Amino acid sequence: MSTEAPRLIRSIRLLDAAEDRIKAEFTAPPPPERSLKTPALLELAKEFQPFAVVLTNNAPLKGKDVEALPDCVKLVSTVSVGLDHLDLPALHERGIAVSNTPNVLTDCNADLSMMLILAACRRAAEYYTLMKNGWHHGLGMGGMLGHRVTGKRLGIVGMGRIGQAVAKRARGFDMTILYHNRSRLSAAEEAGATYFEKLEDMLPHCDVLTLHMPGSPSAPPLMNSQTFSLLPKGSVFVNAARGSLVDEDALIEALESGHLFGAGLDVYRQEPNPNPRLTALPNIFMTPHAGSATIETRTAMCMLALDNVEALAKGLPMPSPVTS
């Protein structure tokens, strides 16, 4: 094994602690001033001949992009949990390892999901708009009423690490936890939650529904006109998972008709330019795909991405490989 510092390139400037580590432990060009798109990243790879490529979903590698990577590249280390931007079969066929950054962002994603639940139920977007535009007059007893979160029934679709972390937070609001998952959890993991094998059976019982499962642009949306119609009138919908899980036309119809009281969204089918019909609705609280956007979590993600590079370069097992 070579003792030379591993060569790497990145598509985006990482956080300061990670950039300091790159200077000390790796051979790398200066960080890009702006996020590199795929063509610029591939050009840099040809020029610099790196062992590893560290990237985010701003620089997807699909099909011919993978073919264009130089043979020296042995690892694509994505600073994300999601893998929608990578062509895994093509990368693995070329013998290029892939790693991601799970676990370290569980808490922050759950925190943001709880924020979306609270904001959608309590009309935070409308309150904020009112205050920014000038309050001017008091609200009557029935003015701009939201929904109490405490004691409501929360349906969770996808009871993995993040789903369970959301459930833990929701119990602090005395919410009743319902969930739909590919398989039932152990009694200890359920912690009193009620399992529904079929999503359609759970939806009519949800005052609030939140999604925490992977998405695929090629798969039909999980939430469409039919599934939205099964939610009780006046319920709240939250999505901090993937925009591809939702038929946004159906969501807009449910919000405009009043079938849904409100929604909290962190992800969209068209990022970073969401459907303007969505952004125009007053009863949506929206954030810009920022579930992991804290100093602590983004630093941990950057460090884990570099841990994977270091491990593979040393011939050691990577802490978070992606095998399929």
**β-bridge mates for residue 296, sequence order:** none
Distance from C-alpha of 170 to C-alpha of 153, rounded to nearest angstrom:
10
SS3 218: coil
Catalytic residue among 197, 271, 277, 296: 271
The answer to whether 271 is a known catalytic residue is yes
Q: Return the C-alpha torsion angle 217, 220, 221, 226, nearest 10.
A: 170
Q: In what order do the strands lie in the sheet with 52-55?
A: 8-10, 52-55, 75-78, 97-99
Catalytic residue among 7, 289, 298, 310: 289
Catalytic residue among 7, 242, 269, 298: 242
**β-bridge mates for residue 177, sequence order:** 154
The answer to whether 242 is a known catalytic residue is yes
The answer to whether 277 is a known catalytic residue is no
Helix (H) or strand (E) holding 170: helix 161-171
Distance from C-alpha of 104 to C-alpha of 52, rounded to nearest angstrom:
21
Which residues are annotated as catalytic? 242, 271, 289
